[in-house]
Structure formats: structure tokens, C-alpha cells
Amino acid sequence: MGMTMALAGCGATGSSGDVTLKLVAADYGTGPANSSEKYWSALAKDFETRNPGIKVDVDVRSWKTVDADVASMVKRGEAPDIAQIGAYADYVKQDALYSADELLNIPTQANFLTQLSDAGKVNRIQYGLPFVASTRLLFYNEKLFDEAGLSAPKTWADIESDAKALKAEGVTTPFALPLGSEEAQAETMMWLLSGGGGYTETADDSYSIDSAQNVETFKWLQKNLVGDGLTGPVAPGKLDRAAAFTAFNAGKVGMLNGHPTLMQEAEKAGVKVGMVPLPGINGKSKSSMGVADWMMAFKQPGHREAAGKFLDFVFSDKNVLDFVGQYDLLPVTYSANDAMAKDPRYADLSKFQDALPTSQLPPVGKTSWAKVSESIKKNIGKAVEPGVNPSTVLGAIARDAVTAEAAE
């Protein structure tokens, strides 16, 4: 168990007991009352008590700026020891990160859910350490469904017929389809998976954005939801996720794809929520979309051993559950997931947990993904506009992907 730590114990690692680790982390809270600052400060204090001589300087920043802030720090030669942010792959390209096996003890490494640890790999070496996970489900307003005499949809045809029934009942937005710039790459991936496709080929991890399955998925959305006026007054390409969620919480949306935080917000707003896996063409989708945020340790400060000790502590079951339980997220480790499944306090997350083992993450290990994601956000809304050939739009995004790959 101590093999990795022993091998790491050379250089400026802090073994002399005089290390201060700089941690930059994202804030998952909605205000001072539930700021992540409280979690990290308490965890750092506990760690320092158990590890005399190692201090942790906690710096929690808004999600709006934290990725850019860390990038600026690295560029200035002032990289933090550890960052908890949205993406890691660009730093692997810069040879800026320690690998997982240079940091963590073997039990910690082996405890990550396989699909999450795989998503943290570049060239089969893990650099990104999944911090929290989430999956997506189809949400529906139970009150609106009851009034229209509907049950939860199981297929795409059900989604269409339910949306028509909701429209007939006067529901403003029977199905919210946010393909605006805020989070279009996630909404797109959910639909691609439910249509039997995805962003990449399983065999060689190459992009397959304009595959036949993906084109057919967007043709269906264009014709059967958007074309029939079932997606509300705002065009999908102009609709951001935040606006769709706000409308759902106001009782104006019949169905949309959502995550655990929306469940919590809707319940506070008095909306009774039903949740099912996103239906596929003829039944349950082969997989749901998974999402993970990441931790990483930078080589620049040179505190490998101390950083590894801290990260092993971060991924202990108690600390993992303390964080995910506060923000309605999912654990990234097998043992913490088992503990959550057995604890009635987390019963409302069970459907998300059930979807996690078969979930598929975006291709975050590709350093080209950031550019491809931007192209999707900018362009995908056009694919469902009246009179547009979805194949043309997906083909243009696919060409952007080829260009982005070639530039890496």
C-alpha cells in the first residue's frame, strides 16, 4: 500500500515537514451559506492535524472563472499544487501534471469507478482524478402529466405523443430542448446516446459526430419535436439550460433533461418531479450521459509526496460523502457509492446512481475536446431549425473536430 508513497519520496516533496500546499477549488455553492469554502477549510484543518508539518492554503473560486484562473497561474509559473476544476487534458499536453500512480496509494487508485478513471487517462495513463460525478435523467412535471392523463415516457414516440398532449392542455413548453451556447454539448450528447450514437467511435476513440445515427437523431428532433411546435416559444438554439431549468421550476415545462441539483431546486419550488432514464428510439437508452469534475496535481511546485497524501485523504469515504451529500452529486469511488446506496438519507439520488455504471462521459481526455465542444455550442442549435439539413450542420462540426485533432 505504501509503495507509491515510498517511490515518491525524493526531491522537494515536503518530507522535512515544512510544506504548504496551494489548493485552488471550484465553488459548488449558491451563496455564502453553502459555499465550498467551508468544506475545504474544515477538511484542510483535519488533514493538517493528522499530518503535522503540511499546511493547506485553500483558495475557492467561482465556477465562472476558476478554469481560466488556474490556466493563468500555470502560465505565470505559479501553478497551484492541486486544482479542482473542470478539465485536465490541456495540462497533460503541457507535461504539467503528475500521474495518478505518482501520487496515490494503490487502494485509492483502484477505488475509482472504472469509466471515470478511464476518462481521466491520456494515452492510457491516468492524470485526471475524478472528484464528483453526475448523470442525467429525463425529468417530467408529475402534476402536468396527471392533468393530461399521461404516464412516464419509455420511447421517443412516447416523448412525442406526451408532448402533443401537454401542448393540447396549454403547457407553454411541452419539451424544453436547450441547445443554446451555455450547455449545448451536454444536451446534444444525451440525445446522441439515446439514438444509438455518440461523439466518438468506441473502437479507436475517433470523432464520429456526423455518423448516420447522429444525423437521424437530429432529423427526428427537427421533425417530431421542433417542427411540431413542441419545444416552446424560444428556439432551441437560443434556449440556455439555466432558462429551461427556471421555466421548469415555474411549472411551465412538461419535460426536460436534468441533473440532481435541478431535482433539489424543483422540489423547493413545489414542483413534483418524476424521473426516468432518457428513453431511446424503441426503449431504454443504451447509456446515459455521465459528467465528472476533476482534481489534478501540478509538477511545478514540486510537492509530490505531500500532494499525494492530501489527495489520498480527500478520497476517503467520509470526505467524499460529506461533499457529494451537500450538493446532491454522486461519489466517484466504489466504496463511497456502496455506502451511499445503503444510506436512506440519499434515497432521492438512487435513480441517478442506478444510471452511473452504464453512463458515458464526453471525450474529456482529448485535448481537442475543448475546441470541439465550443463548435458544438456555437452551431448545433442550427441543426433543428426549419429547412436546415441536420447532416450539413453535423458535417461542419465534424470538420472542426478533424481540424482540432490535427492541431494537437
In the predicted structure, residue 127 carries a pLDDT above the cut 60:
yes
**Strand ranges in 187-313 using DSSP code E only, listed in sequence order:** 253-258, 273-276, 290-297
In the predicted structure, residue 215 carries a pLDDT above the cut 50:
yes
- What pLDDT, on a 0 to 100 scale, did the predictor assign at position 241? 92
Same fold, 3-127+291-358 and 137-289+364-407: yes
Q: What is the pTM of this model?
A: 0.84
Residue 179 near residue 226 (C-beta atoms within 8 A) = no
Class of domain 137-289+364-407: alpha beta
H/E stretch holding 166 reads helix 156-168
pLDDT 10s digits, 332-388: 999 999 999 999 999 989 999 999 888 899 999 888 998 999 999 999 999 999 999
**If you average pLDDT over residues 239-259, what whole number do you get?**
96
pLDDT 10s digits, 295-308: 999 999 999 999 99
312: CB partners within 8 A, 6+ apart: 104, 105, 108
**pLDDT level of residue 17 (50, 70, 90 thresholds):** low
Q: Is 363 in a helix, a strand, or coil?
A: coil
Which backbone phi and psi does 113 adopt, to 5 degrees?
Answer: -55, 135
User: Domain 3-127+291-358 classified CATH 3.30.2090.10?
Assistant: no
Residue 129 near residue 120 (C-beta atoms within 8 A) = yes
What whole-number percentage of the chain has pLDDT above 90? 80
Q: Is 11 in a helix, a strand, or coil?
A: coil
**If you average pLDDT over residues 255-261, what whole number do you get?**
93
Q: Which residues pair with 138 in a beta bridge?
A: 257, 276
**Measured between alpha carbons, how far is 39 from 55 in angstroms, rounded to an integer?**
16
Residue 262 near residue 139 (C-beta atoms within 8 A) = yes
**If you average pLDDT over residues 309-323, what whole number do you get?**
97
In the predicted structure, residue 247 carries a pLDDT above the cut 70:
yes
Q: Where are the domains of the chain?
A: 3-127+291-358, 137-289+364-407
Query: Amino acid identity, residue 116?
Result: L
Nearest-5° Cα angle at 259, 261 to 367: 110
pLDDT 10s digits, 150-207: 999 999 999 999 999 999 999 999 999 999 988 899 999 999 999 999 999 876 789 9
